[in-house]
């Protein structure tokens, strides 16, 4: 692809992402699958541009609005070429020629934008930008995050705007971390142990997993360190009966199964049959044999009532805004609306209420989200405990040593992980225990 063709592909993809309901990564994958003629370097360049435009959108819009233009995909791309790539009118004109696969040439208004940004020596960051713009956060969401993080809010948001780390979880059914690190060393990927998870490996660069022998052999799974840690907080043991209530494609199910050494029983539930079926290959590759997959009709499926108080652990990775995963899904911040939060809070409450019925006396419910917002986290837990005097909150630090090992990274009763403080995706976890009969 020519440089101009790369720009045209980025514009097409951004518009496709904005017009659909699938995450950016799925849209990009679908786009590339239909265009297998695009080489690996071109794919990487286009993908990097798309994610960059999504991550820098608020800051680009700030510059565009100061120049008197409307912010849209083309103007954001042109502003990015000036402010981020430091290109001028000549270089941009050489890529936007309108010939073959290049985008059309800049309009007079776009040429004025290039001139104004060039004259202002535009940088992607500027001291006059308001905090929400510095953090590339929707304006309406900024007050909530400022109330949560105070003076550290911009720092937290900037960390969420960086590319995510590439983490692997060692499957202890097949290997130790030292063995995996030795396997990875010849690949030159800069693999090193994660700081908090005893089963985690962090690579210095992203790499296609199908080119990692340890992955094909089932020795590792791709899983963020934060996701590994919340799964470990379930503190499952061999022989237990466990429910992964919102299992999805089974990442945390796999982590718990390895901890149980294939002894005991895990029921991986989800209301999406296709999503849970995607776990089949992963379970087989990992050598997991103690997982039953079950599709639920709703969060109040009759199966739940029939199995009330029969499980030692109930893991609830609740659907949420995903504000803690903006490193991986920067597009999510731009389609999120205030009404979505209210809808999710209601759904989370129903899910937690129903799933908790499965916990036996002395059994635990592990409530998890990848959200930063208190409405989805601490407030949900407080409301649940207020309505259920047969449950108590178990402080995370009291279990950390046994469940994870090492020093607990938080002093609070409930776990909050963030990229800025812990180098993980944003995660929340609370441990609720049913009182003895």
Residue 160 structure tokens: 């969420």
Which of 182, 282, 228 has its CA nearest to residue 404? 228
Instruction: Check the CA dihedral 214-327-122-57 and report its sign.
Output: positive
Which of 173, 167, 172 has its CA nearest to residue 195? 167
- Is 145 within 8 Å of 372 (Cβ atoms)? yes
Which of 301, 157, 314 has its CA nearest to residue 240? 314
Kind and range of the H or E run holding 31: helix 24-33
- C-alpha angle with apex 384: 398 to 350, nearest 5 degrees? 125
Which of 130, 150, 172 has its CA nearest to residue 261? 172
Which of 8, 419, 19 has its CA nearest to residue 226? 419
Tokens 């208190």 sit on residue: 374
What DSSP assignment string belongs to 357-390? GGEEEEEEEEEEES---GGGTHHHHHHHHHH-TT
The dihedrals phi and psi of 361, each to the nearest 5 degrees, come to -55, 135
- Is 390 within 8 Å of 254 (Cβ atoms)? no
Active site residue 370: yes
- Is 430 within 8 Å of 234 (Cβ atoms)? no
Rounded to whole angstroms, how far apart are CA atoms 244 and 269?
A: 6
Q: Tell me which of 137, 269, 320, 370 is the catalytic residue.
A: 370
The 10 Å Cβ neighbour count of residue 331 is 24
Residues serving a catalytic function are 370
């Amino acid at each position: 692809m020519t440089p101009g063709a790369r720009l045209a592909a980025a514009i097409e993809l951004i518009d496709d992402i904005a017009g659909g309901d699938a995450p950016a990564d799925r849209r990009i994958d679908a786009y590339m699958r239909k265009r297998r003629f695009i080489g690996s370097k071109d794919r990487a360049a286009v993908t990097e541009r798309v994610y960059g435009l999504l991550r820098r959108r608020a800051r680009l819009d700030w510059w565009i609005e100061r120049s008197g233009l409307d912010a849209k995909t083309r103007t954001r791309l042109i502003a990015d070429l000036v402010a981020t790539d430091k290109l001028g009118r000549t270089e941009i004109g050489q890529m936007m020629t309108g010939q073959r696969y290049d985008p059309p040439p800049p309009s007079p208004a776009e040429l004025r934008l290039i001139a104004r940004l060039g004259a202002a020596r535009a940088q992607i960051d500027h001291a006059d930008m308001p905090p929400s713009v510095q953090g590339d956060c929707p304006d309406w969401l900024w007050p909530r995050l400022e109330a949560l993080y105070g003076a550290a809010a911009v720092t937290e948001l900037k960390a969420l705007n960086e590319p995510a780390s590439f983490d692997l979880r060692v499957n202890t059914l097949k290997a130790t971390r030292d063995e995996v690190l030795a396997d990875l060393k010849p690949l030159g990927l800069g693999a090193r142990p994660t700081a908090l998870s005893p089963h985690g490996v962090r690579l210095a660069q992203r790499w296609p997993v199908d080119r990692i022998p340890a992955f094909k052999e089932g020795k590792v799974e791709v899983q963020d360190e934060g996701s590994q840690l919340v799964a470990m907080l379930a503190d499952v043991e061999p022989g237990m009966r466990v429910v992964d209530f919102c299992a999805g494609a089974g990442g945390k199910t796999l982590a718990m199964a390895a901890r149980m050494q294939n002894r005991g029983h895990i029921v991986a539930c989800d209301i999406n049959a296709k999503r849970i079926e995607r776990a089949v290959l992963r379970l087989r590759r990992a050598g997991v044999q103690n997982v039953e997959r079950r599709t639920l009709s709703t969060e109040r499926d009759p199966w739940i009532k029939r199995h009330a108080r029969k499980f030692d652990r109930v893991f609830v990775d609740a659907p949420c805004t995903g504000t803690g995963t903006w490193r991986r899904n920067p597009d999510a911040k731009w389609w999120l609306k205030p009404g979505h939060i209210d809808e999710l809070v209601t759904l989370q409450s129903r899910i937690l209420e129903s799933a908790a019925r499965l916990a036996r006396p002395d059994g635990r419910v592990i409530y998890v989200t990848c959200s930063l917002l208190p409405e989805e986290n601490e407030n949900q837990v407080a409301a649940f405990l207020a309505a259920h005097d047969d449950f108590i909150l178990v402080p995370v630090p009291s279990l950390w040593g046994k469940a994870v090992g090492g020093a607990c990274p938080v002093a609070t009763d409930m776990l909050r992980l963030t990229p800025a403080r812990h180098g993980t995706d944003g995660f929340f976890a609370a441990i609720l225990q049913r009182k003895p009969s």
